Structure 1
Amino acid sequence: MQGRKRRVSMADVARLAGVSSQTVSRVSNGHPGVVEATREQVLAAMRELGYRPNSAARALKRGEFRTIGVILFTLSTTGNVRTLEAIATSAAQEGYAITLLPVAVPTHDEVRGAFHRLGELAVDAVIAIMEVHLLDAATVSLPPAAQVIVVDSDAGDRYSVVDTDQAMGTREAVRHLLGLGHRTVWHLAGPEESFAAQRRADAWRATLAAAGREVPPPVRGDWSAESGYRAGLLLAGDPACTAVFAANDQMALGLLRALREKGRSVPDEVSVVGFDDIPEAASFVPPLTTIHQDFAAVGRLCVEGVLRQIRTESAERGTTLVPTRLVVRDSTAAPPRLT
């Protein structure tokens, strides 16, 4: 029975290339002080033997792992998936890998466990896409020497934060509807525990108040289209409701279905604005007016931020906000004339 094939060693490469193991190590680590002809000779020997440098050993020697840990609550929301995709893409462009640790249940114990596991997995930095109040517990300890950036939070006095400008996007949505002539704007809000939902609801309320308009009671959903549908059945029954700002596009989709089933025409009777600008928003019936979030920029700035902290060996504080953009489609129009 044939035994398992022996792993090619640095000494094997050195013998084939006719150089010392130290020279092979220099080439493997990208050291500039190697004659080009010798470098090519060593690289040719590596290719011939199928030699793969031991990246884990090099990481321990250098004290860096070229890995960014990402902690997040769920992969079921559009924002998290697209932000994670942008983080992974930006990290790869910088020669870094990511280690993903989803938190199954948003409890202090789960969050503590996720940070502990990241410490065991050896990462250079942590990007946390989560509710900041779970990071406030004194018992939550970060991996030693790891740099941290938090997404979607208000932790700017404790960590570096990157986030969409939630208030800016909300103001754009509400002012758009008021500018069309609607007397006020109803709000289909996200879950109470979400910081993004809280900021959007606060900005909606403040924008209406600043314009001297009545602030209707918000109707709350859980980010899903089904919750938007349930809320839409309630809103559809109020003839005074002529404009709705939904806190995300998925809830807006459910809202559109409910309004259609209840015989409320969009946008002739009710105008609807969403938030996110998911790829499918242009294919809704009617195509959805919404607030565009630049998830790619959020992910890129997260990676740039942690790499800057790694390279300068210093923590940062404060918040970086990524601007939003109103995308006007067919779901908004002037309100119906009162007879």
Structure 2
Amino acid sequence: MTAELPTGRAPSIRDVARLAGVSHQTVSRVLNNHPSIRDSTKARVLQVIEELQYRPNRAARALSRGRSRTIGVLSASGSQYGPASSIAAIQDAAREAGYYVNTANLTSVDTASIEAALDHLMYQSVEGIVVIAPQVRVFDVLEQLSIEVPYVTLQSTGRPNDHALSVDQIHGARLATRHLIDLGHRRIFHLAGPQDWIEAEARMRGFLEEMGAMDVPTTAPILGDWTADFGYHAGRELLRQRDFTAIFSSNDQMALGIMHAVRDAGLDIPRDVSIVGFDDIPEAAHFWPPLTTVRQDFAELGRRCIALLLGTIAGEDPDKFREAIIPELIVRGSTGPPAF
């Protein structure tokens, strides 16, 4: 066959697909040496690739060496501390294993945007994908798509076959809540993260489970937005009633805002209000007073994530890599017994 060269631009994967009479996903599979492609289809696609001289750098290396040694990260998390730390940990662990990381950041989580991001990663001949998408709706879309390489997610949805490796957020929230109960607090509020965020839901669940297990009455959690500004304004509203002695905040930034509101009200932390956060951001030890919080081991998460992904690529049983990472309660000066 003689391929028609596109005029005025470099050939694209869609040109290859059109001239070979296949889908662009099939071209991606050929570039990734996927075993499901028939030899006749592979030969036809490779012929068009040669005629068009279609050679993305990573794809060319994958064709010549059989492997790209590249892992893709699909991120829909913005700049929040936890997801950003997870990406950094994955990059470090991948580098140690001799892999590159290519990240596709989603500005929208609709189906078309997710498909485009996955296509971008597949064009780079990634051998596997890590999904860092805190929102439930991203996983609703992923369930409808066919991802042709192994992938792992850093958020557990609790669904069957959710490919997850995660920090046990429920356990971490229970640690924080139990710490406040053990100090003698019985009027504890929870400032939760945004609705639809998997971690926020898990931390809320852990709080409610521990309160229930210890037979402590609860009020409805307050849904926040992860920001210190929200924590500050929520704290000011809550302090109008003063019907609590402790707050468990779903992240450290909102905890910082609450601490600001408490001090503005002329109250003392922890004598008047005890506060616990979640994440242990680097600044948490330097809040005043230093913040009691739940620490996640992001370095270990990155190492295990890469081990799971590379093990799956090599055909190993993924379940042996999937043990959840247990967070740690870091007790500092922001918590103490209530002043009865």
TM-score in terms of structure 1 length: 0.79
Matched residue, 1:134 = 138
SS at match of 2:241: coil
Aligned counterparts of 2:127 and 2:316: Cα–Cα separation in 1? 11
Match runs of 1:226-245 below 5 Å: 226-245=229-248
Aligned counterparts of 1:313 and 1:122: Cα–Cα separation in 2? 21
Contact kept? 1:292, 1:326, Cα under 8 Å = yes
- Once the two structures are TM-superposed, the CA of residue 153 in structure 1 deviates from its matched residue by 2.6
Runs of 4+ in 1 over 4 A off after TM superposition: 313-319
- Unaligned regions of 5+ residues in structure 2, if any? 1-56
Contact kept? 1:160, 1:316, Cα under 8 Å = no
Matched residue, 2:3 = none
Cα–Cα, structure 1 residues 113 and 313, in superposed 2: closer, same or farther, change >3 Å?
Answer: farther
Cα–Cα, structure 1 residues 324 and 200, in superposed 2: closer, same or farther, change >3 Å?
Answer: same
Aligned counterparts of 2:319 and 2:174: Cα–Cα separation in 1? 29
2:179 to 169, 176, 179: 176
- Once the two structures are TM-superposed, the CA of residue 150 in structure 1 deviates from its matched residue by 0.4
Matched residue, 1:122 = 125
- Report which of the two has the higher share of strand: 1
Matched, 1:308 2:311: yes
Aligned counterparts of 1:166 and 1:124: Cα–Cα separation in 2? 29
Aligned length in residues: 282
Aligned counterparts of 2:155 and 2:73: Cα–Cα separation in 1? 13
- Once the two structures are TM-superposed, the CA of residue 106 in structure 1 deviates from its matched residue by 2.1
Cα–Cα, structure 1 residues 127 and 156, in superposed 2: closer, same or farther, change >3 Å?
Answer: farther
Match runs of 1:1-339 below 5 Å: 57-130=60-133, 131-137=135-141, 139-142=144-147, 144=148, 146-154=149-157, 157-312=160-315, 319-337=322-340
Contact kept? 1:288, 1:329, Cα under 8 Å = yes
Aligned counterparts of 2:136 and 2:153: Cα–Cα separation in 1? 8
Q: What letter matches 2:176 in structure 1?
A: A
Aligned counterparts of 1:67 and 1:271: Cα–Cα separation in 2? 46
SS at match of 1:101: strand
Matched residue, 1:43 = none
Matched residue, 1:25 = none
Cα–Cα, structure 1 residues 69 and 122, in superposed 2: closer, same or farther, change >3 Å?
Answer: same
Aligned counterparts of 1:239 and 1:222: Cα–Cα separation in 2? 22
SS at match of 2:324: strand
- Once the two structures are TM-superposed, the CA of residue 76 in structure 1 deviates from its matched residue by 1.2
Contact kept? 1:220, 1:231, Cα under 8 Å = no
Aligned counterparts of 2:290 and 2:323: Cα–Cα separation in 1? 31
Deviations 1:279-323 (A, max 9, x none): 100000110000111111111111111100111277769953111
Contact kept? 1:182, 1:242, Cα under 8 Å = yes
Cα–Cα, structure 1 residues 106 and 55, in superposed 2: closer, same or farther, change >3 Å?
Answer: closer
The RMSD of aligned alpha carbons is 1.9
Aligned counterparts of 1:148 and 1:85: Cα–Cα separation in 2? 18
Q: What letter matches 2:294 in structure 1?
A: I
Q: What letter matches 1:140 in structure 2?
A: L
Give percent identity, aligned residues only: 38
- Once the two structures are TM-superposed, the CA of residue 139 in structure 1 deviates from its matched residue by 4.2
- Is 147-156 or 235-244 further displaced after alignment? 147-156
Aligned counterparts of 2:120 and 2:323: Cα–Cα separation in 1? 28
Aligned counterparts of 1:71 and 1:109: Cα–Cα separation in 2? 14
SS at match of 1:217: coil
SS at match of 1:126: strand
Q: What letter matches 2:315 in structure 1?
A: T
- Is 81-90 or 223-232 further displaced after alignment? 223-232
Cα–Cα, structure 1 residues 194 and 169, in superposed 2: closer, same or farther, change >3 Å?
Answer: same
Matched residue, 1:13 = none
Aligned counterparts of 1:153 and 1:107: Cα–Cα separation in 2? 20
Contact kept? 2:156, 2:162, Cα under 8 Å = no
Aligned counterparts of 1:239 and 1:159: Cα–Cα separation in 2? 42
